[in-house]
Structure 1
Amino acid sequence: MGRENTNYRLAVPLRKRVAIALWKLATGSGYRSISHLFGVGISTVFNCVEDFCDAVINVLLPRHIATPDAAKLIEMATFFRNRWRIPQCVGAIDGSHIPIIAPEEYPRDYNRKGWHAIVLQGVVDGKGLFWDVCVGYAGSVHDARVLRQSHLWELLNDGELLGKTKMAISGINVGHYLIGDPAYPMQNWLMKPFSDTGRLSAEQHTYNYRLSSARSVVEMAFGRLKGRWRCLLKRNDCKLELSKTMTLTCCVLHNICEEHGDNFIEEHDRQFNIQPPGQALPEHGELEGADIRAAIMSYFNRREE
């Protein structure tokens, strides 16, 4: 991000360029107000933000948001089991909408209940750190469709990554899996709650409660993400591509803050995480992963007895 002085002007110091970008991400202030605050031109503010985001994605993203290996998956599963008594779970998945200004192309696709947005799909571990993110689908796209079109679907659908280490649960060999809300499709590697038809058994209620308790980790992660980086709370005065880049940058910075024990005030989470649960997908016929869900439900109820 550094710049050299020229015969015509002095370059903005590197630390100041970083500060300008962080201020924009942390406050969501307009370019004009930031230019007045730091005593630089509006175009300089824009360049600082763009350069900083590019640097974070190129240099820091591979270090702080990475697909876990087999040893890391076992570590994450152990954390989930110890904290929420859920076996073999390695992450929680959810989507969140990030406000944007109406894009020039296909603005209706990005319209969500009267405002324009892009979808941020995130998978977090038990500590609330992102280990997979997908940013940029139009706000009108359903969470299940975002998942099916994301690289995560290709990564996990063949069963290779999450199927390496299995555990016998109620007579079924269960690999690692994610948990999601009712908006997601059931898979061998993705568990979701039973649809509440008013006729759920006590065992099914217990299963739903345990999954909901563990899934709260991703909701709280989104809350802390938006609480720290408030540019994600309101429409940014920038084009679509930069909005995507800024969102991805904030996810990286979130992980860095969490890894270094940054003290975020938890009671502020609720006001930032306003994402309602996704609309449940109808359950027709035999679901993929139904035997695994039944085994986990049996495991929960044995533990409750």
Structure 2
Amino acid sequence: MDSRRPLAALLSPLISQLLILFLLLLPSSSSTNPLSIPNSTFENALQWNLLSIITHFVTTAEIAASFFLFPTRDRKRRRLTSSTTDNHRSIHITRDPDVCKLFFRMTSSTFEWLSGLLEPLLDCRDPIDSPLNLSSEIRLAIALFRLSSGADYPDISRRFNVSEPSARFCVKQFCRVLCTNFRFWVGFPNPAELIPVSAAFETLTGLPNCCGVISCTRFDIVGETSSENRSSIAAQIVVDSSSRILNIVAGFRGETQNFQILQSSTLCKDIESGDLLDSPPIHINGIPVPQYLVGLRSYPLLNWLVVPYSNDHEVGSEEEKLNNALGLMRPAAMRTIASLKKWGALSKPIEAEKKMAVAYIGACSILHNVLLMRDEEDSGMEQEGLKLDEESFDDFNGESNFEEDCRALDIRRVLGTRIK
């Protein structure tokens, strides 16, 4: 803030009072009247008009100066909108909810909420040699537009009237801030937070103590320098029944088998070491059933990971009922993956290096949970999309290195007796 503005606000009242006092001390008549009209009424009226005019301007300056002492967010807030000129769409600032939904995949109220939350973090990380001089809202708009639409940087540069390096910096900064400061939004729940997660799954299927559905998906990557340099990376997610992401890890080579990703993940290590899913088990028919996750057939059967029976079973058997119940849980993961791939930056081959592509996946995952938290994410998904994803998951089968645990067979068997 300019240090002269508070000083102006303090001096203005003093100057105002001095001028008024000076005018009041003037004689009611003047011998030097340039018009030589000895009319005291005219002189008094003139003196009063001058007094009113000077008081008005001084008081107005005083009020204007005082506003600088109390800046409000509304004075600097910009609005986001779109306009069409010469067949090119450009982004400006507005409150139009449809425009925000179109360009940023969220309503204007969520955009403003997110902007206020991230403002101190987005404003304090400019390049040292060339500060951007962009508001936090514009930085946020650039990053969200890149993620939601998948637009390339030349297009973003034209729309926002910024240089391409500035647009790249805004996107990279936003992803770094989200993945560093707000990764707890996709952190695995603590024991108390897992209670409603398990209750929701039990309401859905009758299976108790389930703490999430685990699955994998793949994203294609194409380097920005060469369209022929294509590869893919895999991401492993755990979700609850509402499709909220409870855990995500990305960056594995795309051809890696699902069980290999699981085996290499910190999630598996934390569960195996007793740091996660460590609440006391429940007992069904004398068998202790610990907290567990549900996976596809491409995963191994473990005492903390329940997968469907692989062979066909008689109609109405407990094995078939269990498979059907697990099938009711799988769409939660399918919806989450479909939602992630609705983000423009992830819906096509990601034009970024691997490290930045992983940051895109992490940022979109956090935003997915944010939109769910604010009741803005779609809960439904076309059956065709779910089927395609399911087929792609089942392609990644392989021999597991996990040791078979006879307890896992007992756990799966007794769970079949609790199906609704």
TM score, norm. by length of structure 2: 0.63
2:393 to 277, 281, 284: 277
Deviation for aligned residue 1:209: 0.8
Deviation for aligned residue 1:205: 1.4
Contact residue 368 and residue 377 of structure 2 kept, 8 A: no
Aligned residues: 289
Deviation for aligned residue 1:177: 0.4
| 2:353 paired residue number | 239
Change (3 A) 1:10 1:65: closer
| 1:248 paired residue number | 362
* Letter matched to residue 59 of structure 1: N
Contact residue 170 and residue 299 of structure 1 kept, 8 A: no
How far apart are the structure 2 equivalents of 1:43 and 1:181?
A: 43
How far apart are the structure 1 equivalents of 2:267 and 2:364?
A: 20
Equivalence map 1:114-129=2 (5 Å): 116-129=231-244
What are the Cα deviations for residues 176-203 of structure 1, in whole angstroms up to 9, with x where unaligned?
100000111111110000113x456732
Q: CA RMSD in A?
A: 2.9
| 2:137 paired residue number | 15
| 1:169 paired residue number | 284
| 2:305 paired residue number | 190
Change (3 A) 1:10 1:291: closer
1:82 to 203, 210, 216: 203
Question: Greater RCO between the two (CA within 8 Å, min separation 6)?
Answer: 1
Larger Rg: 2
| 1:45 paired residue number | 167
TM score, norm. by length of structure 1: 0.86
Change (3 A) 1:52 1:85: same
What are the Cα deviations for residues 83-114 of structure 1, in whole angstroms up to 9, with x where unaligned?
2222110100000111211599xx99xxxxxx
Equivalence map 1:65-80=2 (5 Å): 65-80=186-201
* Letter matched to residue 44 of structure 1: S
* Letter matched to residue 211 of structure 1: L
Change (3 A) 1:13 1:160: closer
How far apart are the structure 2 equivalents of 1:119 and 1:98?
A: 6
1:144 to 259, 263, 268: 259
What are the Cα deviations for residues 215-266 of structure 1, in whole angstroms up to 9, with x where unaligned?
2211111112222x22111122221110011111111110010011004272
| 1:297 paired residue number | 416
**Percent identity of the aligned residues?**
25
How far apart are the structure 1 equivalents of 2:416 and 2:190?
A: 27
SS state at 1:137 partner? strand
Deviation for aligned residue 1:8: 8.7
How far apart are the structure 1 equivalents of 2:399 and 2:355?
A: 34
SS state at 1:29 partner? coil
| 2:156 paired residue number | 34
* Letter matched to residue 206 of structure 1: K
| 2:102 paired residue number | none
Change (3 A) 1:274 1:24: farther
SS state at 2:301 partner? coil
Contact residue 220 and residue 269 of structure 1 kept, 8 A: no
How far apart are the structure 2 equivalents of 1:199 and 1:82?
A: 25
| 1:57 paired residue number | 179
| 1:230 paired residue number | 344
Deviation for aligned residue 1:206: 1.3
- 1:262 equivalenced with 2:376 (yes/no): yes
Deviation for aligned residue 1:42: 1.2
1:98 to 219, 231, 244: 219
How far apart are the structure 1 equivalents of 2:340 and 2:272?
A: 28
The 10-residue stretch of structure 1 (79-88 or 178-187) with the greater mean CA deviation from structure 2: 79-88
Runs of 5+ unmatched residues, structure 2: 1-121
Contact residue 249 and residue 265 of structure 2 kept, 8 A: yes
Contact residue 259 and residue 400 of structure 2 kept, 8 A: no
How far apart are the structure 1 equivalents of 2:305 and 2:165?
A: 45
